[in-house]
Structure 1
Amino acid sequence: MPARRAVVIGGGISGLASAALLARDGFSVTVLEQRKQLGGRAGSWERDGFRFDTGPSWYLMPDVFDHFFRLLGTSADAELDLVELDPGYRVYSEGHDEPIDLRADREANIALFESIEPGAGKKMRKYLASAEDTYDMAVRRFLYTSFQDLRTLAAPDVLRRLPKLARLLIEPLSTFAESAVRDRRLWQVLGYPAVFLGTSPYAAPSMYHLMSHLDLADGVLYPKGGITAVIAAVERVARREGAKIIAGAKVERILVEDGHVTGVVHRDRRGVQHTAPADLVVSAADLRHTELQLLDKEHRTYPAAHWAKRDPGPSAVLVYLGVDGPVPGLLHHTLVFTEDWKANFGAIFGADRHVPDPASIYVCAPSETDPTVAPPGASNLFLLVPIPADPSIGKGGIDGAGDYEVERIADRAIDVVAERAGVPDLRDRIRVRRTIGPRDFADDYNAWNGSMLGPAHTLKQSAFFREKNASTKVDGLYYAGASTIPGIGLPMCLISAEVLLKRIHGDTTTEPLPTPLPTGATV
């Protein structure tokens, strides 16, 4: 009997991971990626000896990556060269001259908090214990489930925590963090992970204080070669399992007959149209784009009216800089925070959305750890400025050729980093420059409103409130990636591939699958 045919739309990490798991499960899998390069937002760009990760740059939740590889009979250690960053990252806060360096050790960070705010150490010990407990429960009950059967959530460990869970769902992260620290700098360290979730600490449920366990207790790792190496590893295991991957294949339509998916229409790089027959289709592309552009109206689970009530999350201006000489005030990861966070986040997420100025900035300097990403003696810098999801802000370009507003935001960010890092001649030392704006996210990735991450993790867009991973209108049509459960970020996208497999099998359990998966199982 021939293997069932599966077509995966999108060659980002969730699409590649879905292809690997489906191929191991016995499907004949074809991945269709519209761009020439795999990885989606987690891409790569090279010029004049500099190599930049074009998107994600933090390697958090290492257990999720290792579990994924173990499902496929290997491990993160076998596929990646991981190094621990210590300090994990640096924080500059407006109004304070000296930065704070967060370490790779939980006890060292507790001592750091105590040294800045007497009494905060004891409170942080309790805060991080809660973060670890909440993270462990999330992995057991909320991240690896399709939420098909909500009765599975009524497990004894969840029921025991109901009063705490109620508070964590209702109270915003900003308020919860204030229970542990008062010093603004420390409060910002506890609140900034909300940006990883595509939202504000004033809107993210305090359930997400679990993120502090990841960076303050678990530590931050770096895969040598950058996130590009992670994408290459996931692609490698997908091909090893037998998945066929086609780049330059722009999907135009998902075919449906009698309520069941039958294939995907796409065009190759020459513009020639093809039809890929399928018994099962997984869209790892932006879910709004999938629903509104690739499906006929009668086949849409999430029509236009649905998205009018949802939040696409923030966009960003990204700046890639190849710089002559060192930038000594920066670590591998550096955060530059404004003093007035309410104004900063209000500009990005509030009713009157506009580009914040001043803006908080994230800087990645991977050349501090990895000499392969820049020529000898030079520095590789990646700047990220969160802004509202609004394609009208414009596109980026090379050597200042982007739209005016994008380049203005980039110039402002470069000047702020130069001041905080103590490098007044930073602009003069720039050898390579490229920017990316919201319009690029919309054009290159079909991202809703030019969002850089995906739908925000507000309460109404988290866990079982988030868009599910299977169509209710078309049999055999499934979803993976940042737009669906469990959410945004590289680890969540890996988990989404596993939740997809569980959904296909009707597996309503909440815990990660046993490793390794059997080969060639039948569905």
Structure 2
Amino acid sequence: MGGMNDDGVRGQRVVVIGGGFSGLATAALLAREGAHVSLFEAREALGGRAGSWERDGFRFDTGPSWYLMPEVFDHFFRMLGTTADDELDLVRLDPSYRVYFEGTAEPFDLPASGAREALLGLDPASGRRLSAYLDSAAITYRLATRHFLYSTFTSLRPFLDREVVRGLPRLLRLLAEPLDRFAARHTGDDRVRRILGYPAVFLGTSPGAAPSMYHLMSHLDVTQGVFYPRGGLTAVVDATAGLARRAGAELLTDHRVERIVVDGGRATGVEVSHAGRTREVAADVVVSTADLHVTEHRLLDARHRSRSARWWRRRDPGPGAVLALLGVRGELPRLAHHSLLFAEDWDAGFDAIFGGRREVPNPASLYVCRPSATDDVAPAGHENLFVLVPVPADTSIGSGGVDGGGDTRVERIVDDAIAQIGAWTGTPDLADRVVVRRTIGPADFEREFGAFRGGALGPAHTLRQSALFRGSNASARVSGLLYAGATTIPGIGLPMCLISAELVLKRLRGETGAGPLAEPGRAPGSTSAADRPVTGRGRAHVPDDRTAGAEAS
């Protein structure tokens, strides 16, 4: 039924539920378009999963920490009349990340310059096949950005584009073959296979369950590079909130939406509680950026839900996570800004998380962020670490706490992770040097963010949960109710949340094109976000689809 309105966006009363990244982006875009926007966030701070925590001079991002797809951010800021360069202080990381392989003394660094050559150097014998893989990743990324990521899937016409039709046979092959098998056909080196397969975790799934279409992720880190906004991802949240306010949006924290009001099959407002009182706020359009399960089961009456209990039972919630925010005395030069620790029994680790066993792998393949390598986020002579341990989406694992005060299982998982990091990076006294410690578990994700089954990221990007199969960003039962965020199209991650906000705007404008909207001052059909060089970063060569891409398939 959607949220299209003959009057467009200007002058419409819009309520946005949730002050996370997608909610703030939606509020900013719609307010700039002329809507009267009120955003309600239940928690005391904006940002949602992209939050922050401070203690004893340490400042931690508590959620996303990778700044990828910079052209998506640039496009979003241009839609608001500014630029990423004006709003953020971006640093290109060098190395982009460091990888420790279990049983190997020296790590592998993916450099900011010459990343492709460095990766090929791990497996020279497969150089031609690996080059074809990376060329194919660039082609697939361009195709996805032009024709799929920015699509509301409300019209088939954009998919009749010559580029889509020409690439359809190859695309179907990429959808049918899992990522791990596709990667294995392009390298004989297990280290490279793990580097190519790890981006599946960003998609909330395993390399064995992700369609090989998602090998496009290798274009992001190997070709585009990895960036960091000084101030952390919190700086991006603050910039987006500031733009929303300047556009006229009202952003209210400590305001919990209790119910979406529906009258005659149309969303007419919300009931909001604050300071012990509940009031009804009228709206022409309601945009929920809450977890879709929360929207359907807590905010809507049963007769207005679009999805059955059977549908929810069949959903893959993606992985859970145990997080550790650690303030550490002394320097940790063996850790880069982003470090990955890959266990030797790679496949068993994913099977433990996503398979029938559903247990915490030990040793786990860990992610460690050391923002103090780049930013002033720790006292002098100290380091700041963010550790992520992928675990099953299982709230029974428990909640975290401060100074070891979390549930026993969560604290034990973090203890094991600290010991593993110390052993693998040659820092045996790491545990003794921790002076600040906070842990977060799957039960925290469910309680704080309403995460379905305690998942850390959002529904996994398996074939049946990707693109148009992920579900519409408009309610099928309630007119004027739209969705944004990681649980709807296009999916998981901060860039996807920005795009989901733009998809709301496209719905309200009645736009059915598959590409990004034209930026202010640019004619429709001008250079898209997928093709435009990013300021100060250069543009990678994108090979012709008929050459290297065909070889990779």
TM-score with structure 1 setting the length: 0.97
Which of 161, 176, 179 lines up with 1:173 in the alignment? 179
Whichever residue aligns with residue 97 of structure 1, its letter is A
Which of 37, 48, 57 lines up with 1:40 in the alignment? 48
Residue range with higher mean Cα deviation, 350-359 or 169-178 = 350-359
1:138 partner SS: helix
Measure, in 2, the Cα distance between the counterparts of 1:258 and 1:223.
46
Is the Cα–Cα contact under 8 Å of residues 110 and 119 in structure 2 kept in the other structure? no
- Cα offsets for 1:456-489 (capped at 9, x unmatched): 0000000010021001111100000000000000
Unaligned runs of 5+ residues in structure 1 are 519-523
Which of 237, 243, 246 lines up with 1:237 in the alignment? 243
Measure, in 2, the Cα distance between the counterparts of 1:348 and 1:266.
38
Partner residue, 1:92: 100
Is the Cα–Cα contact under 8 Å of residues 292 and 303 in structure 1 kept in the other structure? no
Whichever residue aligns with residue 449 of structure 1, its letter is R
- The answer to whether structure 1 residue 78 and structure 2 residue 79 are counterparts is no
Which of 328, 332, 343 lines up with 1:338 in the alignment? 343
Partner residue, 1:409: 413
Partner residue, 2:223: 217
Measure, in 1, the Cα distance between the counterparts of 2:25 and 2:204.
22
Measure, in 1, the Cα distance between the counterparts of 2:406 and 2:262.
40
2:198 partner SS: helix
- The answer to whether structure 1 residue 64 and structure 2 residue 64 are counterparts is no
Measure, in 2, the Cα distance between the counterparts of 1:154 and 1:511.
13
CA shift at 1:151, angstroms?
Answer: 3.2
Alignment of 1:379-458 (within 5 A): 379-458=383-462
Which of 498, 505, 510 lines up with 1:506 in the alignment? 510
Residue range with higher mean Cα deviation, 420-429 or 378-387 = 420-429
Which of 480, 486, 489 lines up with 1:485 in the alignment? 489
Measure, in 2, the Cα distance between the counterparts of 1:20 and 1:328.
40
Residue range with higher mean Cα deviation, 158-167 or 137-146 = 158-167
Measure, in 2, the Cα distance between the counterparts of 1:54 and 1:114.
34
Partner residue, 2:144: 138
Is the Cα–Cα contact under 8 Å of residues 113 and 120 in structure 1 kept in the other structure? no
1:19 partner SS: helix
Is the Cα–Cα contact under 8 Å of residues 292 and 304 in structure 1 kept in the other structure? no
Which of 437, 442, 463 lines up with 1:459 in the alignment? 463
Partner residue, 1:119: 125
Whichever residue aligns with residue 381 of structure 1, its letter is L
Is the Cα–Cα contact under 8 Å of residues 268 and 282 in structure 2 kept in the other structure? yes
Is the Cα–Cα contact under 8 Å of residues 329 and 420 in structure 1 kept in the other structure? no
1:402 partner SS: coil
- Cα offsets for 1:249-302 (capped at 9, x unmatched): 11110000011111111211x221121111100000101110111000111112
CA shift at 1:340, angstroms?
Answer: 1.1
Which of 305, 329, 333 lines up with 2:334 in the alignment? 329
Give aligned pairs, total. Answer: 514
- Cα offsets for 1:358-402 (capped at 9, x unmatched): 1110000000011x2100110000000000001111000000000
Is the Cα–Cα contact under 8 Å of residues 110 and 121 in structure 1 kept in the other structure? no
CA shift at 1:503, angstroms?
Answer: 1.2
Partner residue, 2:317: 312
- The answer to whether structure 1 residue 28 and structure 2 residue 32 are counterparts is no
- Cα offsets for 1:202-254 (capped at 9, x unmatched): 00000000000000010000000000000001101111110000001111100
Describe the shift of the 1:243–1:420 C-alpha distance in structure 2 as closer, same or farther (beyond 3 A): same
- The answer to whether structure 1 residue 373 and structure 2 residue 377 are counterparts is yes
- Cα offsets for 1:298-327 (capped at 9, x unmatched): 111123222111111111000000000101
Measure, in 1, the Cα distance between the counterparts of 2:156 and 2:426.
53
Partner residue, 1:262: 268
Measure, in 2, the Cα distance between the counterparts of 1:197 and 1:115.
27
Partner residue, 1:521: none
Unaligned runs of 5+ residues in structure 2 are 1-6, 523-553
Measure, in 1, the Cα distance between the counterparts of 2:459 and 2:513.
25
Which of 60, 68, 72 lines up with 1:52 in the alignment? 60
Measure, in 2, the Cα distance between the counterparts of 1:495 and 1:302.
23
Measure, in 2, the Cα distance between the counterparts of 1:103 and 1:364.
17
Residue range with higher mean Cα deviation, 53-62 or 307-316 = 307-316
Describe the shift of the 1:123–1:238 C-alpha distance in structure 2 as closer, same or farther (beyond 3 A): same
RMSD: 1.2
Measure, in 1, the Cα distance between the counterparts of 2:169 and 2:270.
47
Is the Cα–Cα contact under 8 Å of residues 267 and 274 in structure 1 kept in the other structure? yes
Describe the shift of the 1:502–1:517 C-alpha distance in structure 2 as closer, same or farther (beyond 3 A): farther
Measure, in 2, the Cα distance between the counterparts of 1:409 and 1:427.
13
CA shift at 1:517, angstroms?
Answer: 7.7
1:313 partner SS: coil
Residue range with higher mean Cα deviation, 145-154 or 26-35 = 145-154
Runs of 4+ in 1 over 3 A off after TM superposition: none
Whichever residue aligns with residue 227 of structure 1, its letter is L
Whichever residue aligns with residue 100 of structure 1, its letter is F
Is the Cα–Cα contact under 8 Å of residues 116 and 223 in structure 2 kept in the other structure? no
Alignment of 1:181-196 (within 5 A): 181-196=187-202
Whichever residue aligns with residue 340 of structure 1, its letter is D
Is the Cα–Cα contact under 8 Å of residues 97 and 109 in structure 2 kept in the other structure? yes
CA shift at 1:510, angstroms?
Answer: 0.4
TM-score with structure 2 setting the length: 0.91
- Cα offsets for 1:343-367 (capped at 9, x unmatched): 1001111122111111110000000
CA shift at 1:104, angstroms?
Answer: 1.5
Whichever residue aligns with residue 494 of structure 1, its letter is L
Measure, in 2, the Cα distance between the counterparts of 1:465 and 1:252.
29
Measure, in 1, the Cα distance between the counterparts of 2:506 and 2:285.
14
Measure, in 1, the Cα distance between the counterparts of 2:266 and 2:39.
20
Measure, in 2, the Cα distance between the counterparts of 1:423 and 1:325.
11
Whichever residue aligns with residue 130 of structure 1, its letter is S
Q: Percent identity?
A: 60
CA shift at 1:504, angstroms?
Answer: 1.6
Is the Cα–Cα contact under 8 Å of residues 90 and 335 in structure 1 kept in the other structure? yes
CA shift at 1:112, angstroms?
Answer: 2.0
Measure, in 1, the Cα distance between the counterparts of 2:44 and 2:436.
23
- The answer to whether structure 1 residue 162 and structure 2 residue 168 are counterparts is yes
1:373 partner SS: coil
Is the Cα–Cα contact under 8 Å of residues 328 and 383 in structure 2 kept in the other structure? yes
- Cα offsets for 1:154-190 (capped at 9, x unmatched): 2110111112101110100101111221211111110
1:161 partner SS: helix
CA shift at 1:4, angstroms?
Answer: 1.8
1:511 partner SS: coil
- The answer to whether structure 1 residue 4 and structure 2 residue 9 are counterparts is no
